[in-house]
Amino acid sequence: MKKPQLSPFWMGIIAAAGVLVLIFVVKVLPKMSDQTTAKRKLKTAATNLTNAKEGTPSRADIESWSRYRSDLLAAQVNIAKFYTESDKVLERWFQGLLVGADGDPARDTFMARYLDEGKQLEDKLAAKPFEVKIGIEEEGRKPKFGFNWEKIEPAMWNAIAASGPADEKAVLRELQKRYWARQRVSNIIVNGGVKVSHLLDFRFFKKLHPSLNNAPWEQTPSKPDEQVHWQGVGANPQGQSVQFEETTLPMDLGKTMTFGFAVELPYAEVPKAIREILNPGNGAQAQDMLINLIGTHITIREQNAPKVEYRFILNDAADEAAKKADALAKAGGDKARPVLLSVTCQIIDFDPSKVKKFDGKAAN
C-alpha cells in the first residue's frame, strides 16, 4: 500500500513556516530583548527625573552659566589690563636716567637725581605764580617736614645692604615711587589750579626699610600747633599713625602704598583739592596712577577776631568809614582764615606678574 505523499503546496507551506521561525529566532527575538532593555532604562531614567530635586540645572541654565563665565573672564582680563597700565606710571624711572642690564640705576646716580628732582619740584612751587610755603620754619634752623625727602646717609645704606643684596634695589624702587606720589600732590597745584598757601607735611606711613629706625623724614611734630591728624591709619590721640601695616592685595597681586599730606588753603578750595588728588588726568601722563582716598581732616587754623573796636568822630561818616576800614585791616580783615587740610591716600602698587589666567575650557 502506498504512503500518502504531501502535495508540493503543503511542502512549500511547511518550508516557508520554517524559514519564518528561523527569521523570528535570529532577527526578531534579539530586537524584542533590546526593546525590553531600552524600556527598562527609559523607565529608570523617568523615575530618576521624577525623583530629582528642584533646581536641577537645565540646558538653559548651563548655557547661561557658560555665558556668565565668559563675561567674568573678559572682565578679569580688562581689570588686569587697567591696573597694569596704571602701574606702568608708578614703575617708571626718571626720564633719561641711566639703568644697567638688570633694569636698575646705580645707587649714587639715582640719589643725586632724586634729590635734584625734589629740589626742582619745591622751587617750582615756591616761585610765582604759586608761591607755596614749604615746611615749618624754625628760628635759626632749616624748615622741617614739608615734603620730607629721604636723604639717606652712607651709614643707612650700609644697614640696608646688610639685610641682603636685593634690599638696596628695592629701596631705590620705593624711593622712585615715593617721588611720583609727591609729584602727584604737586600737580594739584601746578596743573589742577588748587590755591595752596602752605605745604606743611608729607609722609609715608610704612618704614622705608626695617633697619632704618627714627629716620629724619619720619620725625613727628612735638608742638601741638604742628600736629596733623591723619585719618584711616590707626592714629593715636595726637593724630599720628602707630604700628601701621600696608594691605596686601588679594591673590598676592601687590600692596598698597599709603601716604598723607597736609596743606593750608582757603576753605572754598577743599573740594577742588580732593577732586584733583583723585583725578588721574592732572599729570603729564595720559593715564596717571590711581589714588584712593581713605581719610580727610580739616582744622581751622585761626579764628577771625570776635570783636574789633575803633574810635571815630561822632556824626562824621567819612571818619567812621576810614577808622572802621583801618581797624579791620589791622585785625586781619573780615576774610575767612585758611584751614589745614590733611588727606590720607593709597596708591595701588599692582604686580602684573601675579595675575592668574583662567582661560581654560570648562569641564564637561
Amino acid 36 reads: T
152-174 pLDDT, tens digit per residue, is 999 999 999 999 889 999 999 99
Cα gap 220→205, rounded to integer Å:
11
The answer to whether 199 and 261 are in contact (CB under 8 A) is yes
Residue 359 has pLDDT above 70, yes or no: no
Residue 23 has pLDDT above 90, yes or no: no
pLDDT recorded at residue 362: 44
When pLDDT is cut at 50, 70 and 90, the band that residue 248 belongs to is very high
User: In the 8-state DSSP scheme, what is residue 347?
Assistant: E
Best mean pLDDT range from 25-34, 36-45, 110-119: 110-119
**Minimal CA–CA distance to 241: which of 207, 275, 267?**
207
Report the chain's mean pLDDT, rounded to a whole number: 85
Integer CA distances (angstroms), 298 to 114, 216, 279, in order: 31, 26, 20
What would the mean pLDDT of 52-81 be, rounded to a whole number? 84
The answer to whether 354 and 253 are in contact (CB under 8 A) is yes
When pLDDT is cut at 50, 70 and 90, the band that residue 5 belongs to is low
What would the mean pLDDT of 294-318 be, rounded to a whole number? 81
Cα gap 287→293, rounded to integer Å:
18
The answer to whether 134 and 125 are in contact (CB under 8 A) is yes
The answer to whether 352 and 80 are in contact (CB under 8 A) is yes
Determine what percent of the chain falls in helix, strand and coil, rounding each to the nearest 5: 45, 15, 40
What would the mean pLDDT of 5-34 be, rounded to a whole number? 74
HSE (side-chain half, CA atoms, 13 Å) at 74: 6
Cα gap 116→151, rounded to integer Å:
11
pLDDT > 90 in the chain, percent: 43
167-209 pLDDT, tens digit per residue, is 999 999 999 999 999 999 999 999 999 999 999 999 999 999 9
Phi-psi label, residue 137: left if phi above 0, alpha if psi -120 to 50, beta otherwise: beta
Ranges of each domain in the chain: 75-302+337-354
What would the mean pLDDT of 40-48 be, rounded to a whole number? 82
Q: Return all residues near 97 (Cβ < 8 A) that are at least 6 apart.
A: 105, 109, 110, 113
Cα gap 218→156, rounded to integer Å:
14
C-alpha cell at 362: 570648562
328-346 pLDDT, tens digit per residue, is 777 666 566 789 999 999 9
What would the mean pLDDT of 99-114 be, rounded to a whole number? 93
Residue 31 has pLDDT above 90, yes or no: no
C-alpha cell at 72: 567674568
Cα gap 275→182, rounded to integer Å:
16
Residue 68 has pLDDT above 70, yes or no: yes
Cα gap 77→297, rounded to integer Å:
37
Cα gap 53→4, rounded to integer Å:
74
